[in-house]
Copies of this chain bind each other. A is one copy, B any other.
Amino acid sequence: MAPETATAPNPTPVVQDLKLTLKDPLVLQSGVTLSPVTLAYQTYGTLNADRSNCVLVCHALTGDQYVVGTHPLTGKQGWWDDLVGPGKVIDTDRFFVVCANVLGGCMGSTGPKEINPATGRPWGLKFPVITIRDMVQAQAKLLDYLGIQKLFCVMGGSMGGMQVLEWAVRYPERVFAAVPIAGSYRHSAQNIAFHEVGRQAIMADPDWSHGNYLEEQKIPKRGLAVARMAAHITYLSEAALHRKFGRRLQDRETLTYGFDADFQVESYLRHQGYTFVDRFDANSYLYITRAMDYFDLAQENDGVLANAFKGTRVRYCLMSFSSDWLFPTEESRAIVRALNAVAANVSFVEVESDKGHDAFLLDEPEFHQTLQGFIDGSAEICGLGARKS
């Protein structure tokens, strides 16, 4: 354990922007060769001497590598600040946590907003379509660079959960434990449909300029905001929206008989939409949603999901949330059934929560306790010792 964290029990980790440019080109699942490939990443905690305490965190669609601490763009807390840090469930006094911005992202990793070296201009729609497998392949090369042969744990929620599954299936020898949270083995028709609405909203904005907005110094703010608003509804549950807002009015006593945000829920949604555009790139949104749509671990195994897991020695812990209708429990159960079919080591908990899909980002006690138990147990078995109480 690093002495500086021992003396300062709960410090905000210093955010130091890290970047790795891969020395070789990346051959993508589409067959296209992409070069150069840069991954922007963050690490938290200290790698132990035998490099066995690494937890790879995979972020969701609009997440990024700033898991903990103050986000450099928004000034807000990291997206898993509740879960990761000294003394927390993912204890950075014990574990070396790595998180990289996904390939195709917009927080420093190679993506459509970065410069295409062949033209000296932003990639835009000339950027190749990438997949979850491509994201994971790039992460594996980052771990090679960091000298980490085997992950103690790979974990993530939503699209992060897809990456976790891809990791465990593609590199089973490099993963001790895998924790896909609120995830799925393939994107459902309804989820593809919601993504398509978001993409169409972006593309409908004339400021999108067929993807060339950066060159033309425009930003398709309105389209991206609409995409975010539609998506944001799917992250919550009806119960959560009812509890948070119901039909309460926003800063007024009576209806205005107009199209202002009379209702709090309207005001909230507009805020979600219009703050999102300050931190996210519209083309990245297209590419990352597409990567999720394309994900299908069953299809690539002749339609039999269990085949993806044959002979696996990875220890799985799956979690879902009872009110999540975007990645409902049934999706996780299908994975559990496939793992059971190959006699894999798997535990599964459906956490009771009325907070919808977003619950994986929130301080949900049952979720955290379940994860704590799995991580501590796995760490002991893995030879990382017992948790200090």
Chain B residues whose C-beta falls within 8 Å of the C-beta of A88 in the assembled complex: none
- CB of B197 within 8 A of CB of A245, answer no
Alpha-carbon distance A197/B261, docked complex (angstroms): 12
Q: Is the CB of B233 within 8 A of A197?
A: yes
Known interface pairs A189-B238, A197-B230. Does A30 touch B265 (Cβ–Cβ under 8 Å)?
Answer: no
Tell me if B247 and A226 are in contact (CB < 8 A).
Answer: no
The answer to whether B270 and A129 have CB atoms under 8 Å apart is no
Inter-chain contacts of A258 with B (CB < 8 A): 129
In the complex, what residues of B have CB within 8 A of residue A169's CB?
none
**Contacting pair B229 A200 (CB below 8 A):** yes
Interfacial chain B residues near A128, Cβ < 8 Å: 257
- The copy count of this chain in the complex is 2
Measured CB to CB, the nearest residue on chain B to A228 is: B197
Interface range for A: 35 or more
| A145 CB–B CB distance under 8 Å | no
Q: Mark A303-341, 1 if CB is under 8 A from B, else 0.
A: 000000000000000000000010010000000000000
Instruction: Say yes or no: is A143 at the interface (Cβ < 8 Å to chain B).
Output: no
Which stretch from A19-27, A170-178, A201-209 is at the chain B interface? A201-209
Q: Is A259 within 8 A of B199, CB to CB?
A: yes
A293 interface residue (CB < 8 Å to B) = yes
Using a CB-CB cutoff of 8 Å, which residues 183-201 of chain A contact chain B?
186-190, 192-194, 196-197, 199-201
Chain A window 228-245, contacts with chain B (Cβ cutoff 8 Å), 1 for yes, 0 for no: 011001001010011011
Residue of B201, B266, B286 near A259 (CB, 8 A) is: B286
Taking CB atoms and an 8 Å cut-off, the chain A residues in 76-133 that contact chain B are 125, 128-129
* 6 pairs of A and B residues whose beta carbons are closest in the complex: A204-B222, A129-B257, A189-B241, A30-B257, A190-B238, A196-B266
Beyond A196-B261, A197-B229, A200-B273: 19 further Cβ-contacts under 8 Å? Answer: A125-B259, A188-B238, A189-B241, A189-B242, A189-B246, A190-B241, A190-B242, A192-B247, A192-B265, A193-B269, A196-B265, A196-B270, A197-B226, A200-B222, A204-B204, A204-B226, A206-B206, A230-B230, A263-B293
Supply 29 A–B pairs (Cβ within 8 Å), ascending by A.
A129-B259, A186-B247, A187-B247, A188-B241, A189-B245, A189-B246, A189-B263, A189-B265, A190-B233, A190-B238, A190-B242, A192-B247, A193-B233, A193-B241, A193-B265, A196-B263, A196-B270, A197-B226, A197-B229, A197-B233, A201-B201, A203-B259, A204-B225, A206-B206, A238-B325, A247-B299, A255-B294, A262-B293, A263-B293
